Structures are given as C-alpha cells and as structure tokens.
Structure 1
C-alpha cells in the first residue's frame, strides 16, 4: 500500500495530474474498490455522488484500439479528501473494468478526468431521503451515506438495495456498521436468490411496489435517489408513479451513462395512464366492447360490464386474474404475479393492466 502523503498546504486535485493507485480491496467475487491518491499530495474536492472518468491502457488483444475511457461513480466521500475511490463490477462484456480487476495494482499511475456529475443529495436538500439501487448502482448511495455519517448529522435515510444474492451486496458490512450506530439509517435489502447454506432474513424476490411500501411506508415524504440498470430504474419509476409519488422529487443516475450537467440529462418519458384519455376494451369470447379511461383496469371494466374474471389479491401479486391479451397495448405495474415469459406470450394481469387505446382480451 502506498504511504499517505499529508500536505495540508496543497491545492485541490485537478485532472492535469495523474492518479496513483494506492490500494485495491476485493468487495465481492467480481467487484473491487480501487483507491487513488495524488502523488503531489493534492486533496479531492467533489460532491458525493459525482463520477470520474479513467483513461485505461487496455491491451489491444482485449478488443480495444489503444486506451479506453470508462466512467465510474466515486464510491468514497469528499469528507475523506486525501484519497478517492471507485468500486467497479465486471459485466460479461467488460473491457476496461476487466482490465482494472486483472492488471491495476498499487503504485501504477493512470490519467483521470473530472470529477463531474449532477447526481448528489447536496443539490436536493431534504429531511428524509430514500436511496434505491441495484448492483453497482449502490456506489453513489455509499458516497452520500458516508458523507452523512461523517457530517455528524445523519439525516433520515431509508437505503433500499437489490442484489442477486446476499453475498453480492456490495458494502453490506460497512453499511451495517453505520446503521448499528445511528437511528437515522435504515437498511432494506432484497435478493432474488439465496446463497447455499446461509440463512437470509431479508426480502426475497424482485423489488416491487408492495416491498417498497413496506420498506419505506412514508415514501411520499422522501426525496428519492435511484441508480442501477435502466430496466431496474424504469421499474422503480413505474412503482412510484403507481403509488402516487410526486416525481419532481425523484432523481436518477444510470451507471451505464452518468450525466455531467442538467443540459445533458435525458428526458424521461414514462407511460402514465391519464384519466382524461379514452380507451376501449373488447372482451372477445363474450362479444362485449366497453368504453373506459386509461386509468381503469381491465378487471374493473370487466366487472362493470357484468363479466367475471377470477381474481384474488387485486394488486398484481397472486396471479389469479391472468388473461390473454389478443391485441392492443396495456400499461401494467405488477408485484410478481406474472413472469416475463408469460408477458412475452401475451398474458396480462387484469387487476393492474390499464388499456392504452383499444385493447382486446380473451375473456
């Protein structure tokens, strides 16, 4: 490990100076944290949640023509300014990240650019926060939580994280150490699979709106920050919209494409059923066509038309109201009562499917 160089008269680091790798810490089987220092002793000034771009000398044999640039959220906090860290997780098609995991060692120097980005709770002050992340999307949440811890004024944070298995929850022990010492941090983990021979007492299954409501009952009062793969973030947005959340208080950052400025922020155009927009459902087997609004569910319209679709929970969990859609489009936010394969085959859950225009179902 590189010895720390304390230089209290130094200026903040600028990307004119290369970074020196000081330490590499394995986090999970395919994830590691790389800590860097400035050889001059410069300190790091940035907002928790921002990112840095690394210039990586990838071997051309790995499919790269010369250096490649990869952007990573800074997982450390500016409250600890003598170093800067990124936590990287290798994906199937990783080139830069795979090079880092296999070749980047303490003492090596690389070029870096930044820090930059707009994803930070410093820009959206609130008394209560809801952090929602998946996979390596946990990194900006870790930076913001560490800042809150170091500030000595831990706000009310509900920290929701989704992982494939308990053993793949990055920063789990560090977060639990924080949460064990302050009442303001509540951890809520969900996993899709269990580790063999290890007990798990948390949530299991894909994160859904029922889980989210249980994890953060006061979600309507919270400023929400979300980071993860785009399908995950879209699912979170749909959950919040269906729960009546004011999306002016929602902020997101994709770990695939971090945003450097407000001008670069992509326009999010989620489908939202509108009570003022007319729709129509044809129940093909019954020969009934009923007008309705986009905010009506297929189940509700069927009942109003005197038709019976067997149902149970009525909020997308049990799967009892599963029916085949013959044509048209629906907007559906469910809670696990239907599989992706069934959706691909054209099935919907009548209790939580909203018609978008003209729709025909096999009822």
Structure 2
C-alpha cells in the first residue's frame, strides 16, 4: 500500500532484495535485507527512495507486511498503480540482489501492541497490508486476543495473501476472516457483489459492548465510510484508528 511520504529524522539505509514473490497478478511482495534494522511494530511503514543515474529521485511510503522482526528482513507488498513510476519499477523491474534505499520504521499510532481487547480489522484493497502484519504478529506470539478481519476486495483474484489467510483461519484459533467482493464474487458466494455497509459491519464485526480495538485501512472514501458506520453502530470513536491512501504510486 502506497501513501504520501512522511518526513522524519531517520537515516536512509541500503536494502537488498533477498526474495520476491507475486501475491496477485498486480501485487508483489519484496523481502528486503536491511542491515542494522531495529525491528518494527505491526502497522508501521517505511519510506522508499529510488534515484536514477541522472540524479532524479522519487520517494513513496509503503506499509510493512511482515511481523515484528529484528533479523533485518522486512517485507513490503507493492500494489501496482496504473502509470505509477515507483510501484511499476518495484513490481516489474527490481530483481533479487538489487538494492533500494529505505528509511524507517515510521509511525507509532496505527500500530497493534498485543493489547488484551478483541481486535476488528477492516481493509479495503491493498489496505490489508498493515493489517496482515498485525495478524502475523498475533500468530507469532500465539496471541489469545480474538481477531476479526473484514476484507473488501474487487474480485477473488485480487485477494492478497489468500492462501496464508485460509491457513491462518484454520490454524490460529480466534481469527475470523470475512470477504466482501465489490465487483465479482466466487461462484456460489452467498452475498451479491457490493460495498461494505451497515449489515456487514454489524454482522461480522464485534459488538460495541466488547470495546474492540479497531483498525481501518484503505482508500480515503472507504475508510471514511467504514469509520462513520462503526461510530453510528455505537463504537467508541477514540478506539477506531484509521490509515488512508490516495493515488500515490
């Protein structure tokens, strides 16, 4: 997921692509080897800077997909944006063994810290990336906090981490995942394609009385709509954390 870059005091580091894999035909995960990586919290992101031989530089920010790790390995899942100069390079050009500059980790508000309350994750498209880091972190520590992910995506072919999510629902007790397909649903799917609305969040989210920690991430209109519905359903606005992105590429 790309967002506008966030300036900070952290220094730039050279990251080497250790592995790369396709999540969907238009989204690729890069496993970066970053020397002296301090570790990160699930939900944080990094700035990525590309510099051409002529000195031209482009910078974007990408959510970290991997759990809290201190082994110097950081995973970024990059969704290709049409005509996007950075996302297209990261997905289609950058090869294993090549290097890019990164800065981070950045952010301290949209993070999960293994707190006791149940957690509701609401994702729109590639907004699932930082939420997947939270799911992975919970699995790593065998957390007992009940997690529910409501994941809105265009078609089944656009689902990021499809196999892993299926495996984690099976193997990580207390994790539930519900998909909302906006354009095309799988054959036999019980719901017609459509956007997230009151019935979805009311049925597949947590009741407000449970006082869940809520994380909503996706395009700005999606995030605003979901957050407004949750508040209307009675959720504490102070417990709803949002992360949004627009057309950065």
The answer, yes or no, to whether TM exceeds 0.5 is: yes
Please name the residue that 2:47 is paired with.
53
**Cα 1:248/1:257, change in 2 over 3 Å:** farther
Please name the residue that 1:86 is paired with.
76
CA distance in 1, matches of 2:71, 2:169: 23
Please name the residue that 1:199 is paired with.
187
User: Could you report, residue by residue, the CA deviation over 1:256-290 in whole angstroms, capped at 9, with x for unpaired residues?
Assistant: 499xxxxxxxxxxxxxxxxxxxxxxxxxxxxxxxx
User: Could you report, residue by residue, the CA deviation over 1:4-45 in whole angstroms, capped at 9, with x for unpaired residues?
Assistant: xxxxxxxxxx8453110111110111100011003x5x4441
Please name the residue that 1:145 is paired with.
135
User: Could you report, residue by residue, the CA deviation over 1:203-238 in whole angstroms, capped at 9, with x for unpaired residues?
Assistant: 431110111111125244211101000000110122
Q: Residues 51 and 117 of structure 1 are in contact (CA less than 8 Å); yes or no, is this contact kept in structure 2?
A: yes
- Residue number among 156, 164, 188 corresponding to 2:154 in the alignment: 164
**Cα 1:220/1:229, change in 2 over 3 Å:** farther
Indicate yes or no: 2:209 matched with 1:235.
Answer: no
- Residue number among 8, 11, 23 corresponding to 1:27 in the alignment: 23
- Residue number among 101, 105, 112 corresponding to 1:121 in the alignment: 112
Stretches of structure 1 lacking an aligned partner (at least 5 in a row): 1-13, 259-363
**Cα 1:126/1:93, change in 2 over 3 Å:** farther
CA distance in 1, matches of 2:96, 2:188: 36
CA distance in 2, matches of 1:162, 1:121: 21
- Residue number among 28, 31, 36 corresponding to 2:32 in the alignment: 36
Q: Over aligned residues, Cα RMSD in angstroms? A: 2.3
CA distance in 2, matches of 1:166, 1:58: 36
User: Could you report, residue by residue, the CA deviation over 1:280-311 in whole angstroms, capped at 9, with x for unpaired residues?
Assistant: xxxxxxxxxxxxxxxxxxxxxxxxxxxxxxxx
Please name the residue that 1:108 is paired with.
98
CA distance in 1, matches of 2:179, 2:75: 23
Secondary structure of 2:13 counterpart: coil
CA distance in 1, matches of 2:205, 2:116: 16
Indicate yes or no: 2:237 matched with 1:247.
Answer: yes
Q: Residues 20 and 28 of structure 2 are in contact (CA less than 8 Å); yes or no, is this contact kept in structure 1?
A: yes
Stretches of structure 2 lacking an aligned partner (at least 5 in a row): 1-9
CA distance in 2, matches of 1:49, 1:107: 26
- Between Structure 1 and Structure 2, how many residues are aligned? 236
CA distance in 2, matches of 1:30, 1:19: 22
TM-score under structure 2 length normalisation: 0.87
